Amino acid sequence: MVSVAGSGTGRGSPAVTLVQLPSGQTVHVRGVIQTPQPSVIQSPQIQTVQVATIAETDESAESEDVIDSHKRREILSRRPSYRKILNELSSDGPGVPKIEEEKSEEERTPPHIATMAVPTSIYQTSTGQYIAIAQGGTIQISNPGSDGVQGLQALTMTNSGAPPPGATIVQYAAQSADGTQQFFVPGSQVVVQDEETELAPSHMAAATGDMPTYQIRAPTTALPQGVVMAASPGSLHSPQQLAEEATRKRELRLMKNREAAKECRRRKKEYVKCLESRVAVLEVQNKKLIEELETLKDICSPKTD
DNA sequence: CGCACACGGCGTCAGGATCA
DNA sequence: TGATCCTGACGCCGTGTGCG
- Tens digit of each residue's pLDDT (9 = 90 or more) over A209-225: 223 333 334 333 333 33
Say how far A75 CA is from B18 C1', in Å: 10
Query: For residue A52, which of A27, A33, A73 has the smallest C-alpha distance?
Result: A27
Q: Is the CB of A223 under 7 A from strand B?
A: no
A87, A99 Cβ separation under 8 angstroms: yes
Q: Is the CB of A268 under 7 A from strand C?
A: yes
Using the predicted structure, report yes or no on whether residue A104 has a pLDDT greater than 70: no
Phi first, then psi: what are they for A44, rounded to 5°?
Answer: -60, 140
A121, A130 Cβ separation under 8 angstroms: no
Which of A21-25, A35-39, A127-131, A269-273 is predicted least confidently? A35-39
Q: Is the CB of A79 under 7 A from strand B?
A: yes
d(CA A158, CA A50): 8
Say how far A45 CA is from B8 C1', in Å: 41
Q: How many CB atoms lie within 10 A of CB A250?
A: 10
d(CA A20, CA A35): 23
Q: Is the CB of A267 under 7 A from strand B?
A: no
Of the pLDDT bands very low, low, confident and very high (cuts 50, 70, 90), residue A237 is low
Say how far A25 CA is from B2 C1', in Å: 51
Q: Is the CB of A257 under 7 A from strand B?
A: yes
Nucleotides of C under 7 A from a protein CB: 5-9
Q: Is the CB of A262 under 7 A from strand B?
A: yes
Which has more confidence, A83 or A230?
Answer: A83
Average pLDDT over residues A42-70: 34
